[in-house]
Amino acid sequence: MNTKVIETGQDLEVTVKEVVADWENPKIQLVRPEGQDRGLIAEVDVDGKVHRFGVDCKLRPAVRDVEKLAAKTASGISPLLVTVQATRPLVEHCKRLGVSCLDLNGRVWLRAKGVLIDREAARGPVRYRTAEVPANLFSLKGSRLARALLSFPGRQWRQNELSEFTGLSQGLLSRLLKHAGKEGWVTGSRGDWSVTDADGLLDTWRAADIWKKRVKVRQYSALEGDLTKLANRVLEHVTGEIVFTQWFAAGLRFPYADVPIVSAYVAETPDAHLAEVLGVREVSSGGKLWLITPKDVGALQAIRRVDDFPIVCDVQIYLDLLQVGLRGPDQAEALRSWDGFRKP
């Protein structure tokens, strides 16, 4: 099935009429208000009772559009936001403010007196999209911005500071910030960008993150039982930048799960000679030492030192623990629940 590109608001209005005409659950009819040549009313039939909503079609709605709709009162008719692809953060914002929404791909959240309909979009290829593909804030490069924003709570950033810190071009950075602003994660302009919804940003990053696609891990068995001594040997013998993560780093910040593994990001891919120098042996699984080569240098940004050990930022520790088992998710959630999470 080919994906249809919706380019204008008029295209959206025409297409949504065609799409909902085939729906049975819920059954929706879009009509013009009597005596008007603009605007639409959605008549939603639920078990024989019709609920009416005032339709507002937006190609690329932002959080502020939801907030404006929430403030609207039009003859007691509840607002219904109609778009092409409703992102999860946008739907969650609609839920919080009581604004019903639906998209062309089948995502529906409708709230009326005595009625609640919450339906995900159909699985499979996306049937409809807008012409503009938004910048991906959670790609290898894009996540550099998310990491920077989340690692310095309360900071206001100039755009050139963000570009310098992340190494991202001004063009890409502008598109990423525009997207983050539409989702309600940040607010500001070129001189004063700041985070407004850190939890929403981190939750969406977590959902998009795939550990195995952004790292290459080599595991090693070691006779050394003292993790601190093992970590110091890594610092002494591994060349290039070294930054600890996962259980060892979390233990330095907020210990929870006692897991006998030292893991560290290394800038250079380890070779056989390094294993010999460290006194370890490479294994396919069950290693006590994990040396991780990142596919993007962003993972090594916003580092701090604790007890003379360089460790990644709290957000990176959190994400690195979620998909690796060995009580990693437990340690991750304990770290995030800690009062000092993300703080200096």
**The pLDDT of residue 35:** 67
- With bands split at pLDDT 50, 70 and 90, how would you rate the model's confidence at 272? confident
Percent of the chain scored above 70 by pLDDT? 98
Residue 8 or 201, more confident: 201
pLDDT of residue 141 exceeding 70, the answer is yes
**The pLDDT of residue 292:** 96
Q: Which domains does the chain have, with CATH numbers?
A: 4-130 (3.40.1350), 143-208 (1.10.10.10), 211-337 (no CATH)
| Structure token digits, residue 235 | 């610092």
Q: Say which residue the tokens 């963000």 belong to.
A: 162
Digit-coded pLDDT (tens) for 102-134: 999 999 999 988 889 999 987 888 899 888 777
**The pLDDT of residue 102:** 94
pLDDT of residue 335 exceeding 90, the answer is yes
Paired strand residues for 83: 103
Residue 195 or 35, more confident: 195
- With bands split at pLDDT 50, 70 and 90, how would you rate the model's confidence at 166? very high
Digit-coded pLDDT (tens) for 288-307: 999 999 999 999 999 999 99
Backbone angles phi, psi at 41, to 5 degrees: -115, 130
- With bands split at pLDDT 50, 70 and 90, how would you rate the model's confidence at 329? very high
**The pLDDT of residue 112:** 86
- With bands split at pLDDT 50, 70 and 90, how would you rate the model's confidence at 75? low
Residue 330 sits at the vertex; the CA angle it makes with 250 and 335, to the nearest 5 degrees, is: 40
Digit-coded pLDDT (tens) for 177-214: 999 998 999 999 878 999 999 999 999 999 999 999 99
Percent of the chain scored above 90 by pLDDT? 64
- With bands split at pLDDT 50, 70 and 90, how would you rate the model's confidence at 34? confident
Computed over every residue of the chain, the mean pLDDT equals 91
26 upstream amide cis, omega within 30 of 0: yes
Torsion of CA 315, 319, 322, 325, to 10 degrees: -110
Mean pLDDT of 255-269: 89
Q: Say which residue the tokens 């005032």 belong to.
A: 54
Digit-coded pLDDT (tens) for 211-242: 999 999 999 999 888 999 999 999 999 888 99
Backbone angles phi, psi at 235, to 5 degrees: -60, -35
In a 10 Å sphere around its CB, with 0-12 CB exposed, 13-18 middle and 19+ buried, how is residue 284 labelled?
Answer: exposed
Output the 3-class SS for the chain: CCCEEECCHHHHHHHHHHHHCCCCCCEEEEECCCCCCCCEEEEEEECCEEEEEEEEECCCCCHHHHHHHHCCCECCEEEEEEECCCCHHHHHHHHHHCCEEEECCCCEEEEECCEEEEECCCCCCCCEEECCCCCCCCCCCCHHHHHHHHHCCCCCECHHHHHHHHCCCHHHHHHHHHHHHHCCCEECCCCCEEECCHHHHHHHHHHHCCHHHHEEEEEEECCCCCHHHHHHHHHHHCCCCEEEEHHHHHHHHCCCCCCCCEEEEECCCCCHHHHHHHCCEEECCCCCEEEEEECCHHHHCCCEEECCEEECCHHHHHHHHCCCCCCHHHHHHHHHHCCCCCCC
